[in-house]
A = this chain, B = another copy of it.
Amino acid sequence: MSDLPRRVHIEEEGPREGFQSEKAAIAVSDKVRLIEALAEAGLSKIACVSYVNPRRVPTMADAPEVAAAIRRKPGVSYGALWLNQQGLERALAGPLDVYGSVRITASDTFSRKNVGKSVDDAIVEQRLSLATLKERGIPVEWGIVLGAFGCNYEGELSTATILARVRTVLDEAEAMGFTLRGIKLTDAMGWANPNSIERLVGAIRGKWPELEISLHLHDTRGLGMAAAYAGLRMGVSRFDASIAGLGGCPFAATDGAAGNICTEDFAFLCEEMGIETGLDIERLIEVARLAEEVVGRPLPGHVMRGGTLRNARRRAAA
């Protein structure tokens, strides 16, 4: 049948991925309020800010203020994204938790368009950051393959291509003295479907059974939850998600696409199937409503409107 995991770990991407795609300015205090509420609802790893060029991503210009203002809950990791040595230096100078990773883009064309470098050149550039992390004793546990399920420029990517990218990532980590714990497959361009999840996760599992796999799925075309379920069936137990589905503008015709799969909907899916998440879904729903309040528009989450089945079950049991 399937390899459904007993427990799933959900990493919250809403503040980082969500706020960076918002058009309007959001107050530092609102960002912090949302991050703190996410921690209170049980999320133990929260991507809070991006240390990126504020000219390219104006809504992240306040990253240092947000990072400084968070009242930390013990046991919770508050992370940041960076993309180059300069970003890493900012992250190291700030108060948030710094995790290393080896990042590689699946499609060479997308790599050139997105970071202005070929896949190989981007890897070479990354060695500097990896050396810095090594020096500072910061762990590098995950490899990340970006756009692993298809590319708007190159179309479908062969399994062999992705396996070669994983191999490169493992080799780069090893060359720096890091042993990776797992591989995160991301799909920001929204190409994944249940079949391609099965195929790619299965291929990586077959070749590197010791590696954990994490999925970062977007609900661009409505397949996010079906693809996530396909991942669960393959035994994947780590997923990125975004509160209320924050991260896209599905109701702004100019922007179009939705963002990450929705944290509370995915947690509800897991819990209904008997998979533990460690999350309090009723509280997550309150946080999802807060997210809507903070961005000032409806967000695509469903269970925040439909409600959980808790009350119906209580009534039935009474």
Contact = CB atoms under 8 A, between A and B. Distances in A.
Interface of A: 150-156, 190-191, 193-195, 219-226, 228-230, 250-251, 253, 256-258, 262, 265-266, 268-269, 272-274, 298, 300-303, 305-309, 312-313, 315-317
A250 B155 CA distance: 33
A273 B230 CA distance: 12
A94 to B, nearest CB: 34
Given A222-B225, A226-B228, A268-B221, A154 B316 contact: yes
Contacts of A256: 305-307
A308 B221 contact: yes
A222 B190 contact: no
Contact of A222 (B151, B155, B269, B298): B269
From A253, A298, A300, A302, name the one whose CB has the most chain B CB atoms within 10 angstroms: A302
A308 to B, nearest CB: 7
14 contacts: A150-B312, A152-B312, A154-B316, A193-B272, A194-B229, A220-B306, A221-B265, A222-B225, A222-B262, A222-B303, A225-B226, A256-B306, A256-B307, A258-B306
Contact of A153 (B195, B220, B268, B316): B316
Contacts of A307: 221, 256-257
Contacts of A225: 222-226
A303 to B, nearest CB: 4
- Copies in the assembly, this chain: 2
A221 B303 contact: yes
Given A221-B302, A221-B306, A221-B307, 12 more contacts: A150-B309, A150-B312, A155-B312, A155-B317, A190-B306, A221-B268, A221-B309, A222-B269, A226-B228, A229-B229, A257-B306, A258-B306
Contacts of A150: 309, 312
Contacts of A268: 221-223
A283 B291 CA distance: 34
Contact of A219 (B152, B257, B302): B302
A195 B305 contact: no
A214 B151 CA distance: 35
A251 B300 CA distance: 9
A33 to B, nearest CB: 21
Contacts of A262: 222
A272 to B, nearest CB: 4
A195 B302 contact: no
A258 to B, nearest CB: 6
Nearest to A257: B306
Contacts of A266: 222
A228 B226 CA distance: 8
